[in-house]
Amino acid sequence: MESIILQIAARHMRPLLIGLSLIVLYRGHNEPGGGFIGGLMFGAAYILYAMAFGVVKTQKSIFFNPINLTALGLLIALISGLPAIMLGDIFMTGEWYTFFQGTMMELKLGTPLIFDVGVYFAVAGMLMLVMFSIMEE
Amino acid sequence: MLLLLAILVGVLYGAAVYLLLRRNIFKLILGLIFLGHATNMLLFVAGGLTSGRPAFLRGLEGEAIGMSDPLPQALILTAIVIGLGVTAFALTLVYRFYKVTKTVDFDELSENE
Amino acid sequence: MILVLPIILPLLFMVVLIFTRRWLAFQQGFSIFASIMLTFVSFLILIDVQQNGILAIQPGSWDAPYGITLVADLFSAIMMTTTSFVGIIVMIYSPGFIDKERQTAGYYPLVYGLLMGVNGAFITGDLFNLYVWYEVMLTSSFVLIALGGSAEQLRGSIKYVTINFVASIFFVSAIGILYGQVGTLNMADLAAKMRTWDEPMYINSALMLFFIAFSVKSALVPFFFWLPASYHTPPMAITALFAGTLTKVGVYTMFRFYSLFVVFDQQFWTIFILTLAGLTMFIGVLMAASQFDIRKILSFHIISQVGYMIMGLGIFTATGIAGAIFFTVHNMLSKTNTFLAGGLVYQQSGSYDLKYLGGLYKAKPFLALLFFIPAMSLAGIPPLPGFFGKFFLIKGGFEAQQYFITAVAILTGLFTLFSMVKIWNEAYWKKEPEEVKERGKVHPSALIATSLLAAAVILMGIFAGPVIDICLQAGEQIVNPEMYINAVLKR
């Protein structure tokens, strides 16, 4: 199925959806959002692209393999537990650090965010893997 | 509200069982999805319904009275994620099965060679 | 701190194996090394628990009733060590049995996914976390059982996926009901609260849902039909891994739950569990005796043997539990061993069907011995460990004055012997049939793995004394759940 409208839409929607997924990922700790939903959005961006252009072309347009992305996500999630051990706490304890304290740009980052990034990649990779294998003819 | 949700859970379970008993394999997958959602609703109802109350308030940690319990929702989220994984796999499986046997009929599942 | 290793090591191995999935030789070597490391870690935990009592930690530093607890008592440490050991054997066996396409399609990472789930289920102290580990384990097993995608496998795996998903749904519903009533998910905290609870209705209904879920997963009567319908479809190495680990996780969980949560109507639960145990043993072995495919005979045997383990649970004295634990460990080794030996039969003669087999003893006596040892051990012939397991179970049965179930257990033992002798007669002893399929050669790595496992079975028989001692200690811990509760809640 070749649809010009869908192709143009998909081409422009992809960066938009990826950007939105990153926002959702970042705000996820205290507000609705998070790694899982962000990952789904990221995967959806590529699935939309694959619907418009076909799986083969989509796989050529991405520089990563979905299964490697999943593995990377798992690795990141695993690593996010390690800073706690280095700081003398039990594995997986959330460690927080505030950047630019006292200024307007106050930014609180911690290991749960790293874990969320891991989830983000793992979910995105898994979703793309499954969907591509179903869409492949 | 509680009664309404309880009926909803019952209806979902009923639909799920009905679909699971059909001969069509794709309906089996639909049945599994319904079953998963029915259980998520059950978790939600069983965890206790509270409305209009915050789960956490800054500075009020430790004063649990008057707040809603966030745990059932966390459980449901986890169950949804797991359900997504299993459903995705089941879909792939059934699709492969369809491609190999060219049928969606359950009777093909029995081994009468 | 060592308690997180049985979970994060397999995850790490899995990631490494996914990234290197194209390099077959590396995968084969690394997975053997990794499983040895996993066994080493589990063994360290076992020693630690044996010397210092039950271990419990709180990953994430959230305190006991709120955060997720990891807790290892002797039973879980024993199970973890045995599982990882079975993992080593299967990893050595796989390169010689599974075809290259399956090996590079993610077989090795999936095995580590499975082991991560199994280990997680053994050491978690939180109900919902237990569910998550079950799903990790099951999802890996779903993919493993369908790996390769032949029509027969797809048929088997659709049944397997459906029934296991429905069982998981029962599990989650029970968690929901229990949480709604008691308001906690920490298993120790739940157990402590239940002991002062005055309304048994919801708790009993939740327990019954749990019981159904776990009897599906451990293939008890009347929920066992999925097992023989699916276990014979994947390659033998995968079936052997499943046979050695999956149903035993269900049995483990049943032990844990019975010990912690059954505080109301114990009379009813005892009769109920003993009845199901007797039926499971007997029906399983009868159905095994009627089959002619080696894989199906052995699959039905799994069911029958699960009955013995559950019988130990129904008796619920330290002796009975110790016998059941000993029997479970022995069963994980011997059962895997018989399946692996069945794989060797297939490599030799290209069939699993007893009608087309024969003369294997004459051809290769040593290979016949590799089947003979675990088969006789499963049937309960004295110097082998199966005898000691059954002996302690029956002793426990007599001590608890459960004569009927004990009689059923003894009778089932005879039938087990019969069906094992049937395989032996048909495949190894009878004359080679006329229209024989082409003969194949046994791969050396498959041979080494099976020999190692047979040696382990013999060693377990020789050192039965010390193993029984540890099992008795584990039995004490199961019979006195206060030890577990106090260790987790730090009272």
* Residue B100 belongs to domain with CATH number: 1.10.287.3510
Is B93 in CB contact (< 8 Å) with chain A? no
The total domain count for chain B is 1
Query: Do residues C35 and C42 make contact, with C-beta atoms less than 8 angstroms apart?
Result: no
Query: Can you tell me the ipTM of this complex?
Result: 0.90
Instruction: Tell me how far CA of residue B16 lies from CA of B32, B39, C133, C176, C193, in angstroms.
Output: 7, 11, 25, 19, 34
Q: Give dist(CA C234, CA B90) in Å, integer.
A: 17
Question: Which of C131, C134, C135, C163 has the highest number of chain B CBs within 10 A, making it the mutation to test binding with B?
Answer: C135
Q: How confident is the model at residue B26 (pLDDT cuts 50, 70, 90)?
A: confident
CA distance B25 to chain C (A): 9
Q: Identify the bridge partners of residue C369 per DSSP, sorted by sequence position.
A: none
Is A129 in CB contact (< 8 Å) with chain C? no
Spatial CA neighbour of C109 closest among C247, C11, C6: C11
CB contact under 8 A, A67 and C18: yes
pLDDT at B23 over 50: yes
Residue B69: closest C-alpha in chain C:
C183
Name the residue with tokens 């599990």: C171
pLDDT in tens, chain C (491 residues): 788 899 999 999 999 999 998 888 999 999 999 999 999 999 999 999 999 889 888 888 888 788 889 999 999 999 999 999 999 999 999 988 888 888 888 899 999 999 999 999 999 989 999 999 999 999 999 999 988 878 888 888 888 999 999 999 999 999 999 998 888 889 999 999 988 888 888 888 999 999 999 999 998 888 888 888 888 889 889 999 998 899 899 999 999 999 999 888 888 999 999 999 999 999 999 988 888 888 888 999 899 999 999 999 988 888 999 999 999 999 999 999 999 998 988 888 878 888 878 777 877 888 888 888 999 898 888 888 889 989 999 999 998 888 888 999 989 988 888 888 888 888 888 777 766 656 678 888 889 999 999 999 999 989 988 999 999 999 999 999 999 999 988 87
Q: How confident is the model at residue B59 (pLDDT cuts 50, 70, 90)?
A: low
Those residues with Cβ within 8 angstroms of residue A57's Cβ, 6 or more apart along the chain or in another chain? none
CB contact under 8 A, B77 and A36: yes
Instruction: Tell me how far CA of residue C112 lies from CA of B89, C80, C107, C276, C386, in angstroms.
Output: 18, 14, 9, 33, 28
Structural domain span for residue C380: 2-489
Q: Please, what is the angle between helix C236-261 and helix C74-93, to 10°?
A: 170
Tokens of C7: 């979970």
Contacts of A74 in chain C (CB under 8 A): 11, 14-15
Residue B94: closest C-alpha in chain C:
C158
Is A107 in CB contact (< 8 Å) with chain C? no
Residue B99 lies in a domain: yes
In the B/C pair of chains, how many CB contacts fall below 8 A?
Answer: 89
Contacts of B78 in chain C (CB under 8 A): 128, 132
Which pLDDT does position B10 carry in this prediction?
A: 94
The total domain count for chain C is 1
CB contact under 8 A, C177 and B46: yes
Looking at residues A40-59, what average pLDDT do you find? 89
Which pLDDT does position C196 carry in this prediction?
A: 87
Contacts of C19 in chain A (CB under 8 A): 68, 71
Is B81 in CB contact (< 8 Å) with chain A? yes
Contacts of B92 in chain A (CB under 8 A): 130, 133-134
Which pLDDT does position B113 carry in this prediction?
A: 42
CB contact under 8 A, B92 and A127: no
% of chain A surpassing 70 pLDDT: 97
pLDDT in tens, A20-37: 999 999 887 777 888 889
Q: Where are the alpha helices (DSSP H) in A1-137?
A: 4-27, 35-53, 55-61, 66-79, 82-86, 111-135
Residue B91: closest C-alpha in chain C:
C158
Structural domain span for residue B22: 2-47+66-104
Instruction: Tell me how far CA of residue C30 lies from CA of A123, C26, C108, in angstroms.
Output: 26, 6, 10
Q: Where are the alpha helices (DSSP H) in C94-199?
A: 100-102, 108-123, 127-146, 151-182, 187-194
Nearest to A90 among C18, C19, C57 (CB): C57
